[in-house]
Amino acid sequence: MRKSTFVAAAALFCTAALAQAPTTEDPYLWLEEIDGARAVAQVKQWNAATEELVAKGPVFEQYRKRALDILDDEQQIAGPEDVLGDKVTNLWRDAKNPRGLWRIASIESYTAGKPQWRTLIDVDALGKAEGKSWVWHGASCLAPDYQRCLVSLSPGGTDADVVREFDIGTGRFVDNGFVVPEAKSNVSWFDRDHLLVGTDYGAGSLTDSGYPRIIKLWTRGSALSSARTLLTGEQGDVSATPFGYADGATRWNFITRSKTYWTHELSMVLPDGRVIRTPVPDSADAQDVIGGRLITFFNKAEQGLPAGSIVAYSLADLAASRSTRPELLMAPSPKQAIEEIAVSKGTLWVKALDDVSGKLFAFSPRAPSSAWARKTIDLPARSTLHLLETASERDLAFVTVEGMLTPPTLYAVTPNASPVAVQSLPPKFDASVFEVEQRFARSKDGTRVPYFLVRKKGVAGPVPTLIHAYGGFRSAQTPGYLTGQPYRAGPLGLFWVEQGNAYVLANIRGGGEYGPKWHEAALREKRQNSFDDFHAVAEDLIRIGVTAKGKVAASGRSNGGVLVGALLNQRPDLYSAAIIGSPLFDMKRYSHLLAGASWIDEYGDPDKPEDWAFMSRYSPYQNLRRDVRYPAVFIYGSTKDDRVHPGHARKAAARLMEYGNRVYFHEYMEGGHSVGADNSEDAKRAAMLLMYLDRELGSATGRQGG
């Protein structure tokens, strides 16, 4: 079925929907009924039409199979999920184990690159035995012996999960051990026989965002309903979350009451269960503890210290409610952003960005009145670094290093020796035929906006170009190996540039590429800055001849759905294709859908006229116009997404179709917002998106998908 047939199919969808639509201000509210029979039937119809277009034929199957081979390849970094004393755990997923093997090995064998694994939980086998579609959500093991763990398993990949106590030594779930029923729970060890639990305790126990607001201390052997309440937040809060840090033989327990997405009231839980408020500013984030100090990150300038800084508080002073002044450890330069912080036995590890390239620093604590010793770790320059895990009983950190053309290498890093490569992945494509460059565009207000461009060497433009961005929630977009670009689209980026096209990762405002100020520049009423930044990157690529009008595709996911929707409304002349993944789209109703209320600090409150005044200017759903011909878009999502409501994607498709536009739509019935049920989902998506882009933009080689 070619494009003309697709238009007819889209028209049929539109007619069927409108014929049954209730007469309300929004005729597509019925699509917000996640499992409603009518909504699901419509989704299946749209899915079938899209698959008829782009998920059939030998070319599609070739790319789908290759994508799955790449994602399931047994030659992958066995990254540490956790370091448990002298052991390392890992979750391994491949073709034989799509849901994963949770396994453990000695740290000596692991750092030598020859781990001797022992399987703790076979997630696929467990799901089969229990009749559940379990998806791994992680494990938290209690220091210092690391024998008991809280294992989180999600049915189908939703944010909600079940928490069960597991014994490392026996390799079994603990008989009559702790079990927290399925919910969006926040659970942490207090000690071996007590948990700090925030969960769904019944009516009124959750915030408007759907997260726990009550934290209780639960004693082993007693009913959860009898647990002692330690802290109760407000209904309008985002959530309440318990957590703890080990500092040698001492465990320090805390609770954050997140009054908004960006403000967190930090309290300490004393050994007797008393809860005391700390003087840590609400805008700061606790990171870890080391040498009797609580390490925090200042998102705003506070107490005479600059925004974006790392500071330390005396834990003894906090526990005694004594007045204490924070100690400055590191303040970033104007081109830097501190992104990741972790602690090993005697070292504070800091991963920073410097013009969006990763750097790693090691700090050694000294007396409070003395400066901390600081070293820069010698790792490959102009790369993306990820600080994965650290060891609590030795000075050791595990770090991956990668680039768009450089496969990941896992390093074991110590403060006083050269990094040791533990595992390096072999190349999955011939990087010698490609080139990557970092360029800078000028946004509407003159702001310098970085972006990364990858394409074949010697390509004479203009060529079809895919630009991906996010632009929100302080999340920096750094260039990763092309087999995983963009996020949740498998190796789409690789397939695209292999055809001679260009792939671009844009570092627009709203993210964390230059620290809190970069995020705040696109917050709430300043959201337009992120849209202007993306437009500027597209126009810069046209100006330098990389691409041309008619050859530009925009891509964004989640918050990026707001972005791409706004881009299309504002500049339908500039973009000729758009990928919109698991999107926010209806900003008038977002705060009433699933976790939406938790993001009011990011976007604004649409129920307040003064906020809707600026939100209404860009909300994608409300700004679609009947008299505009939009490029054909590909919208995808998941029925089981319990974070960003699938109604956003469905309503976007319905409204675009109603106005006579072509829409490719695909919704998976499993998989949550950030985790796919297994790799086959992302592999199929990569192939479908490639076929879509080929149909809509063509390719530099002239090959059409299908």
The rounded percent of the chain whose pLDDT value lies above 90 is 89
pLDDT of residue 671: 72
What is the residue type of 704?
Q
At 6, phi and psi to the nearest 5? -65, -40
Residue 446 binned pLDDT confidence (cut-offs 50, 70, 90): very high
Q: What is the β-pairing status of strands 552-557 and 465-468? A: parallel
Residues marked as catalytic: 558, 673
Cα separation, 227 vs 216, in Å, equals 6
Q: What angle do CA 35, 200, 167 make, to 5 degrees?
A: 105
What is the rounded average pLDDT of the residues 505-513? 98
Tokens representing 89 are: 């755990």
Q: What fold characterizes domain 3-70+441-697?
A: Rossmann fold (3.40.50)
pLDDT band at 538 (very low <50, low <70, confident <90, very high): very high
CA–CA distance, 150 with 199 (Å, rounded to integer) = 15
153-179 pLDDT per residue, tens = 999 888 999 999 999 999 999 999 999
Q: How far apart are the first and last CA of the chain?
A: 9
pLDDT in tens, 176-214: 999 999 999 999 999 999 999 999 999 999 999 999 999
Give Cα 302 distance to the centre of its chain: 28
Q: What are φ and ψ of residue 533, in 5° steps?
A: -65, -45
Nearest alpha carbon to residue 603 among 239, 614, 622 = 614
β-strands 633-638, 663-668 pairing? parallel
Given a cut of 80, is residue 599 above it in pLDDT? yes
Q: 3-class secondary structure for 587-607?
A: CCCHHHCHHHHHHHHHHCCCC
Give dist(CA 702, CA 497) in Å, integer: 13
Instruction: Collect all residues with Cβ–Cβ distance below 8 Å to 261 and sequence separation of at least 6.
Output: 238, 598, 599, 600, 601, 602
Residue 617 has φ and ψ, to the nearest 5°, of: -75, -20
Whole-angstrom distance, CA of residue 84 vs CA of residue 145: 8
The alpha carbon of 655 is separated from its chain's Cα centroid by a whole number of angstroms, namely: 28
Question: In the chain, where are the structural domains located?
Answer: 3-70+441-697, 283-330, 332-427
> Which amino acid belongs to residue 226?
S
Q: What tokens were used for 101?
A: 């093997």
Mean pLDDT of 374-392: 95
pLDDT at 9: 37
Q: Please check the confidence at residue 6 and state whether its pLDDT lies above 80.
A: no
Question: Could you tell me the pLDDT band of residue 674, with boundaries at 50, 70 and 90?
Answer: low
Residues in the chain: 706
The residue among 499, 483, 477, 480 whose CA lies nearest residue 384 is 480
Query: Does the pLDDT value for residue 258 go beyond 50?
Result: yes
**Taking 60 as the threshold, does the pLDDT of residue 326 lie above it?**
yes
**Dihedral class, residue 297 (left if φ above 0, else alpha if ψ from -120 to 50, else beta):** beta
227 and 216 Cβ atoms separated by less than 8 Å: yes
The yes-or-no verdict on residue 22 having pLDDT over 50 is no
Sheet (strand 239-247) strand order: 239-247, 250-260, 263-269, 275-277
Name the pTM for this structure.
Answer: 0.91
